[in-house]
Structure 1
Amino acid sequence: MDHDTIVKTVNSIFVERFELDESELTPDKRIIEDLQLDSLDLVDMIVGLQQKFGIMLRDNPEVRAVRTLGDVYTLFEKLAKEHPEIAEKFQ
Protein backbone atom coordinates (compact mmCIF):
# COMPACT_ATOMS: atom_id res chain seq x y z
CA MET A 1 0.00 0.00 0.00
CA ASP A 2 1.43 3.34 -0.99
CA HIS A 3 0.65 7.00 -0.42
CA ASP A 4 -1.08 7.42 -3.80
CA THR A 5 -3.46 4.56 -3.05
CA ILE A 6 -4.41 6.10 0.28
CA VAL A 7 -4.99 9.50 -1.36
CA LYS A 8 -7.20 8.01 -4.09
CA THR A 9 -9.21 5.94 -1.62
CA VAL A 10 -9.78 8.78 0.85
CA ASN A 11 -10.55 11.25 -1.95
CA SER A 12 -13.15 8.88 -3.40
CA ILE A 13 -15.03 9.01 -0.09
CA PHE A 14 -15.03 12.82 -0.16
CA VAL A 15 -16.21 12.86 -3.79
CA GLU A 16 -19.01 10.35 -3.16
CA ARG A 17 -20.29 11.73 0.15
CA PHE A 18 -19.92 15.46 -0.45
CA GLU A 19 -20.06 15.76 -4.25
CA LEU A 20 -16.71 17.54 -4.34
CA ASP A 21 -14.64 17.88 -7.48
CA GLU A 22 -11.62 15.61 -7.15
CA SER A 23 -9.37 18.35 -8.55
CA GLU A 24 -10.15 20.40 -5.41
CA LEU A 25 -8.87 17.67 -3.11
CA THR A 26 -5.27 18.49 -2.30
CA PRO A 27 -3.34 17.79 0.93
CA ASP A 28 -3.32 21.45 1.98
CA LYS A 29 -7.11 21.86 1.79
CA ARG A 30 -8.65 22.56 5.17
CA ILE A 31 -11.71 20.41 5.64
CA ILE A 32 -13.95 23.06 7.19
CA GLU A 33 -12.64 26.33 5.80
CA ASP A 34 -11.66 25.33 2.25
CA LEU A 35 -14.01 22.45 1.50
CA GLN A 36 -16.93 24.15 3.28
CA LEU A 37 -17.87 21.10 5.34
CA ASP A 38 -19.80 21.70 8.56
CA SER A 39 -19.98 19.72 11.79
CA LEU A 40 -22.63 17.34 10.42
CA ASP A 41 -20.46 16.75 7.37
CA LEU A 42 -17.54 15.92 9.68
CA VAL A 43 -19.66 13.27 11.39
CA ASP A 44 -20.61 11.92 7.95
CA MET A 45 -16.92 11.91 6.96
CA ILE A 46 -16.01 9.87 10.05
CA VAL A 47 -18.89 7.44 9.47
CA GLY A 48 -17.86 7.00 5.83
CA LEU A 49 -14.24 6.32 6.75
CA GLN A 50 -15.31 3.91 9.51
CA GLN A 51 -17.57 2.00 7.12
CA LYS A 52 -14.94 1.81 4.40
CA PHE A 53 -12.15 0.61 6.67
CA GLY A 54 -14.07 -1.22 9.38
CA ILE A 55 -12.52 0.69 12.26
CA MET A 56 -13.80 2.94 15.02
CA LEU A 57 -12.41 6.46 14.65
CA ARG A 58 -14.65 8.34 17.04
CA ASP A 59 -12.53 7.57 20.10
CA ASN A 60 -9.18 8.03 18.37
CA PRO A 61 -7.56 11.24 19.73
CA GLU A 62 -5.69 11.74 16.46
CA VAL A 63 -8.98 12.25 14.62
CA ARG A 64 -9.63 15.38 16.68
CA ALA A 65 -6.36 16.86 15.38
CA VAL A 66 -7.33 16.41 11.72
CA ARG A 67 -7.68 19.77 9.99
CA THR A 68 -6.60 19.14 6.39
CA LEU A 69 -6.91 16.37 3.84
CA GLY A 70 -3.18 15.82 4.31
CA ASP A 71 -3.89 15.09 7.98
CA VAL A 72 -6.44 12.46 6.92
CA TYR A 73 -3.92 10.85 4.55
CA THR A 74 -1.25 10.81 7.28
CA LEU A 75 -3.67 9.32 9.81
CA PHE A 76 -4.57 6.48 7.46
CA GLU A 77 -0.94 5.82 6.56
CA LYS A 78 -0.27 5.40 10.28
CA LEU A 79 -3.36 3.26 10.88
CA ALA A 80 -2.53 1.03 7.91
CA LYS A 81 0.95 0.40 9.31
CA GLU A 82 -0.45 -0.42 12.75
CA HIS A 83 -3.39 -2.53 11.53
CA PRO A 84 -2.75 -4.85 8.57
CA GLU A 85 -6.50 -5.41 8.13
CA ILE A 86 -6.86 -1.72 7.23
CA ALA A 87 -3.99 -1.89 4.75
CA GLU A 88 -5.78 -4.75 2.97
CA LYS A 89 -8.79 -2.51 2.30
CA PHE A 90 -6.60 -0.19 0.23
CA GLN A 91 -5.80 -2.98 -2.24
Structure 2
Amino acid sequence: MNSSFPDGDTLNKEQNTTHQMRREARIRDILIDCLGCNEEDITPEKHLVDDLYADSVALIDMVIMISEKFKIEMTEKDFMHINTVKDLYRWTENHFQ
Protein backbone atom coordinates (compact mmCIF):
# COMPACT_ATOMS: atom_id res chain seq x y z
CA MET A 1 0.00 0.00 0.00
CA ASN A 2 1.33 3.41 -0.94
CA SER A 3 1.68 5.49 2.21
CA SER A 4 1.57 8.77 0.28
CA PHE A 5 -2.21 8.52 0.07
CA PRO A 6 -4.26 9.29 3.17
CA ASP A 7 -6.39 6.51 4.58
CA GLY A 8 -10.16 6.77 5.06
CA ASP A 9 -9.91 7.85 8.70
CA THR A 10 -7.54 10.68 7.81
CA LEU A 11 -9.84 11.86 5.03
CA ASN A 12 -12.86 11.77 7.35
CA LYS A 13 -11.02 13.82 9.99
CA GLU A 14 -9.97 16.36 7.37
CA GLN A 15 -13.53 16.61 6.05
CA ASN A 16 -14.92 17.00 9.57
CA THR A 17 -12.38 19.74 10.30
CA THR A 18 -13.30 21.54 7.08
CA HIS A 19 -17.03 21.31 7.87
CA GLN A 20 -16.41 22.53 11.41
CA MET A 21 -14.39 25.50 10.14
CA ARG A 22 -17.20 26.40 7.72
CA ARG A 23 -19.82 26.18 10.49
CA GLU A 24 -17.71 28.37 12.74
CA ALA A 25 -17.27 30.93 9.96
CA ARG A 26 -21.06 31.00 9.44
CA ILE A 27 -21.60 31.46 13.16
CA ARG A 28 -19.08 34.32 13.21
CA ASP A 29 -20.96 35.95 10.32
CA ILE A 30 -24.22 35.62 12.26
CA LEU A 31 -22.62 37.14 15.36
CA ILE A 32 -21.24 40.02 13.31
CA ASP A 33 -24.70 40.65 11.81
CA CYS A 34 -26.57 40.40 15.12
CA LEU A 35 -24.09 42.14 17.40
CA GLY A 36 -22.42 44.60 15.07
CA CYS A 37 -18.98 43.54 16.27
CA ASN A 38 -15.81 42.96 14.29
CA GLU A 39 -14.60 39.50 13.30
CA GLU A 40 -11.45 39.88 15.38
CA ASP A 41 -13.62 40.49 18.47
CA ILE A 42 -15.11 37.00 18.14
CA THR A 43 -12.96 34.37 19.82
CA PRO A 44 -14.10 31.08 21.36
CA GLU A 45 -13.69 32.22 24.96
CA LYS A 46 -15.76 35.41 24.55
CA HIS A 47 -18.96 35.53 26.57
CA LEU A 48 -21.89 36.51 24.36
CA VAL A 49 -23.42 38.94 26.87
CA ASP A 50 -20.51 40.07 29.04
CA ASP A 51 -17.86 40.43 26.33
CA LEU A 52 -19.80 40.87 23.09
CA TYR A 53 -22.67 42.82 24.69
CA ALA A 54 -25.50 40.76 23.23
CA ASP A 55 -28.87 42.00 24.46
CA SER A 56 -32.11 40.02 24.46
CA VAL A 57 -33.10 41.15 20.96
CA ALA A 58 -29.70 40.20 19.54
CA LEU A 59 -29.88 36.79 21.25
CA ILE A 60 -33.31 36.12 19.75
CA ASP A 61 -32.04 37.19 16.32
CA MET A 62 -29.07 34.83 16.70
CA VAL A 63 -31.32 31.88 17.56
CA ILE A 64 -33.53 32.59 14.53
CA MET A 65 -30.60 33.05 12.15
CA ILE A 66 -28.79 29.93 13.38
CA SER A 67 -31.97 27.87 13.10
CA GLU A 68 -32.57 29.10 9.56
CA LYS A 69 -28.95 28.92 8.39
CA PHE A 70 -28.29 25.41 9.68
CA LYS A 71 -31.84 24.04 9.35
CA ILE A 72 -31.81 22.93 12.98
CA GLU A 73 -34.10 23.98 15.79
CA MET A 74 -32.54 25.77 18.71
CA THR A 75 -34.93 25.96 21.62
CA GLU A 76 -34.89 28.47 24.44
CA LYS A 77 -33.77 25.64 26.72
CA ASP A 78 -30.82 24.91 24.41
CA PHE A 79 -29.81 28.53 24.32
CA MET A 80 -29.93 28.87 28.10
CA HIS A 81 -26.81 26.66 28.23
CA ILE A 82 -24.89 28.68 25.67
CA ASN A 83 -22.79 31.41 27.22
CA THR A 84 -19.68 31.69 25.08
CA VAL A 85 -18.86 31.58 21.40
CA LYS A 86 -17.26 28.17 22.03
CA ASP A 87 -20.53 26.91 23.54
CA LEU A 88 -22.29 28.00 20.37
CA TYR A 89 -19.71 26.21 18.20
CA ARG A 90 -20.09 23.03 20.27
CA TRP A 91 -23.88 23.13 20.18
CA THR A 92 -24.01 23.36 16.39
CA GLU A 93 -21.34 20.67 16.04
CA ASN A 94 -23.28 18.31 18.31
CA HIS A 95 -26.45 18.81 16.27
CA PHE A 96 -24.71 17.79 13.07
CA GLN A 97 -23.58 14.41 14.38
TM-score greater than 0.5 by the shorter chain: yes
Indicate conservation of the 8 Å contact 2:46/2:84, yes or no.
Answer: yes
The equivalent position to 2:80 in structure 1, one of 64, 75, 83, is 64
How many Å apart are 1:58 and its aligned residue?
1.9
Q: Which amino acid aligns with 1:28?
A: E
The letter of the residue matching 1:79 is H
State the alpha-carbon separation in 2 of the partners of residues 36 and 55 from structure 1: 25
Question: C-alpha distance in 2, partners of 1:54/1:41?
Answer: 19
Whether 1:19 aligns to 2:55 is no
User: Over alpha carbons, which structure has the higher Rg?
Assistant: 2
Which of residues 16, 19, 22 in structure 2 aligns to 1:5?
22
Task: List gaps (5 residues or longer) in structure 1.
Answer: 82-91
**TM-score of the two chains, using structure 1 as the length reference:** 0.78
Identity of aligned residues (%): 24
Q: TM-score, normalised by structure 2?
A: 0.74
Specify the SS of the correspondent of 2:43. Answer: coil
Q: Aligned-pair distance for 1:67?
A: 0.2
Report the number of matched residues.
Answer: 80
Letter in 2 for 1:8: A
Q: Which runs of 5+ in 2 are unaligned?
A: 1-15
